[in-house]
Amino acid sequence: MSEERLAGNFRAVAEAAGAETDVLAVVKANAYGHGAERCAVALARVGARWFGVADASEGARVRRALDAAGFADAEILVMLGLGGRADWLSTVESRLTPVVWTEAQLCCLWGWPGSLVHLEVDTGMGRQGVRPGAELDAVLDLIGAAELVLDGVMTHFCAAEVAGSEKTREQERRFEAAVAQVRAKGLRPKWVHAGSSSSVDNPARGGGSEWLVGLAKSVGARAMVRCGISLYGYCLAIEGAGAGAGSRVRAALRPVMTWKTRVLDVREVAAGETVGYNATFTAPGPMRLALLPVGYADGLRRELSSTNAKPGGWAMVRGGRAGIVGRVSMNLTMVDVTGIDGVRVGDEVVLLGDGVTADDHARIAGTISYEILCGVHAG
Ligand SMILES: *Cc1c(COP(=O)(O)O)cnc(C)c1O
C-alpha cells in the first residue's frame, strides 16, 4: 500500500471537487482491502476530515488509529446506520456519527439529546434512506422530538458514472425537494452530501458540482462528496451520451495497492504435459513454469485461469508478463516464464501493481475493480 499514492489521489480528487466541496474519504470494507486504519491516518495527514466506515466496529478501529495519530477532531460517518441499541453505545463511545433513516433507528437515540446524525434520503437508489414526502416529514419530526442534531443530509446516486443520466437528474430533483422539506422544518444541517468518485470524475457530473454547492447553501450548509475507489487509484469508466467529454480526475489517479508474492518453484515441462486441475492446459512445446504460493483463497480470481484456447490473467516477473497457465487453485497458481530470462525460486512476483491492474483482473473476471480490491487477502 503506497501512502504517497493515496495522498496524491486524495489531493487530485479534492482539487477536482473544488474549493467549495469537501471530500469525505470512504474507508469502509477495510479501505477497499487496503487497511482502514493506515489509510485513514495517511488521509488525515493530507487534510481529510471526514471518514466513511461501514459499521460501528470498523468505526471504533478507525477512531483508535486517528486518536493515536493526533487527529482526535476527525469525523467518522457510519454508513450502514444503526443496527440497534448496542450499536449506538459503541457509536457514542467511539464518537461516531451514524447515518439514520428509520423511525426504529431514531428510537434507539431517544434519551441522548444533542446527538449528531446524518439523515439519508432515498432519491432513487432504492436501498437505504427515507423517501421524500410524508415519510421524510415524519422522520424530521422525530429528530426534533428526540432533540437530535441533524448534522447532515445525504443521498446516494445509483448511476453516477453515466454522463447526462436522466436517472441522476431525477435523483437531483428529489434531493432538492428533500432539502426544501428540511429547510421548511427550520432545520439547518452543517453538511449536505451526495455523489461518489464517479460524480467527481463525470464530466456531466451530478455530485460534487455547482448544483450540490448551491443546494447546500440553500440551507446554510457546506457541500461534501463521498469518495472511495478514486482514493485507491481506480474509477469506473464514464458511460453514456456525454462520455466523449472524457473524465475529470482519472488520469491523475495512481493505483495504491501492490500485491506481491514470490516464486515457490520453477519447473521445465515437455510438450504434451498437462498443468493443473482438469488438465485444462497442455504444453504445446517445452516450457518453463513458475509455481506461485497464491490462489483464489487469497483473492486471486479463478476466472484468471487459462486453457490452450483462452488466455487468462498474468503476473509480472522480472519486468515481463507471465501468463497464468491452467487453473488458479486454492493456494497455488502456475505462470509461464518461458520467455523471461533467469527466473529463480524466491524471485518477486507482482500480482497487482505496475503492469497489471485491478481493472485488468476485473475485465477478465467480469466484475469491477472494487470487488477485486476488496477480495485481496494478502498475508
Ligand atoms: C461506498 C459508498 C461511496 C463511495 O463510492 P465510490 O464509488 O467508491 O467513490 C459513497 N457513498 C456511499 C453511500 C457509499 O456506500
Region 100-112 average pLDDT: 92
pLDDT value of residue 86: 82
Counting atoms of ligand 1 from 1, which one is nearest the CA of 230?
9
| Span of 100-114, 143-157, 349-363 with lowest mean pLDDT | 100-114
Active site residue 28: yes
When pLDDT is cut at 50, 70 and 90, the band that residue 205 belongs to is low
pLDDT value of residue 206: 52
Assign domain 3-252 one CATH number from 3.40.50.11440, 3.30.70.2860, 3.40.718.10, 3.20.20.10. Answer: 3.20.20.10
**High-pLDDT (> 90) share of the chain, %:** 89
Cβ count within 10 A of residue 15 = 14
Question: Given 32, 217, 277, 296, which residue is catalytic?
Answer: 277
Taking only the tens place, the pLDDT of each residue in 207-226 is 458 999 999 999 999 999 99
Q: Point out which residues pair with 223 in neighbouring strands.
A: 21, 192
Query: Is 158 exposed, middle or buried (CB count within 10 Å of its CB: 0-12, 13-18, 19+)?
Result: middle
- For ligand 1, say whether the CB of 193 is within 6 Å of any of its atoms: no
Q: Where in the chain is the domain with CATH 2.40.37.10?
A: 259-374
pTM score, whole prediction:
0.96
* 259-374 is a CATH 2.40.37.10 domain: yes
Region 135-156 average pLDDT: 97
Task: Please name the residue whose Cα sits nearest to atom 6 of ligand 1.
Answer: 228
pLDDT value of residue 246: 73
Q: Where in the chain is the domain with CATH 3.20.20.10?
A: 3-252
C-alpha cell at 38: 493506515
Distances, alpha carbon 41 to alpha carbons 4, 16, 88, 226, 309, in Å = 12, 22, 24, 17, 47
What does DSSP say about strands 21-26 and 333-336: parallel, antiparallel, or unpaired?
A: unpaired
